[in-house]
Amino acid sequence: MKKFYCFFPLLLLLACVIAGCSNQEKDTQVSDEPIELTISAAASLQDALEELKTTYEKEHDTITLLYNFGGSGALQQQILQGAPADLFFSAAEDKFDALVKEDMITANQGTDLLANELVLVVPKTNSKQIQSFEDLAQADKIALGTPESVPAGQYGVETLKNLNLWEAVEPKVVYTKDVRQVLTYTETENVDAGIVYKTDALVSEKVDIVSTASDTMHTPIIYPVGVIKDRPHAQEAEDFYQFLQSAEAMAVFKKYGFKGVH
């Protein structure tokens, strides 16, 4: 019995050392686990943001960027209803401002970053010989983002109304879930023409830009981006938010046809 009592403290010490090492290993494993940031972004940003994802993850090996692309209005509603998002990158100021108003984005953690243009595109065949917005009278089907949830659709309706074309064009409109679907419908000749952002048209080899809407015909196309409040990885989200404003990131955005606001 005496031998057991002498040996017991040694067993206890050994157990504590092993437990301590085990906890240390767990702490190390936790700290090495990648942090996932979810960015809800307008569909028109897809190509530029995918390239920036590669660059950013290479420079930050503990960060994984998860994108949720779609129409800005739909994304705004998802966030309002509790969908996880660390940043919101909108193609319209009103959709972004709605989240600021709901105190989900702090004003000083949001900025108007990019600008875009609205263009009319046609399939390469252009069987209806459409060369301008006025020529849409010759079209049978015209693709347009759903105005309530897709800013490009909203800008398109504004443009057509200001050109006094909406009443004639409206019955021909095929509505889509986002601006990229407009591009797809036009590329595949399911429609005779579509209204998209210039940046979308530039990434496609299957459509031609036949006309650019005047800036005076629609609300300015501004892309605000901001950090969503009260998320678990606030500092990492802030870091990526700052990266999006860097000269390196802006060079990529401009390569895809975006313009800087400032």
* Dist. CA 58–CA 217, nearest whole Å: 42
Pairing of strands 222-228, 173-176: unpaired
Residue 25's CB is within 10 A of a number of other CB atoms, namely 10
Identify which of 119, 125, 44, 93 has the alpha carbon closest to the alpha carbon of residue 226.
Answer: 93
DSSP-based three-state secondary structure for 178? coil
Give the DSSP H or E segment for 88: strand 87-89
Detail the residues annotated as belonging to a binding site: 44, 72, 152, 179, 197
Sign of CA dihedral 152, 208, 191, 214: positive
Detail the residues annotated as belonging to a binding site for molybdate: 44, 72, 152, 179, 197
DSSP-based three-state secondary structure for 252? helix
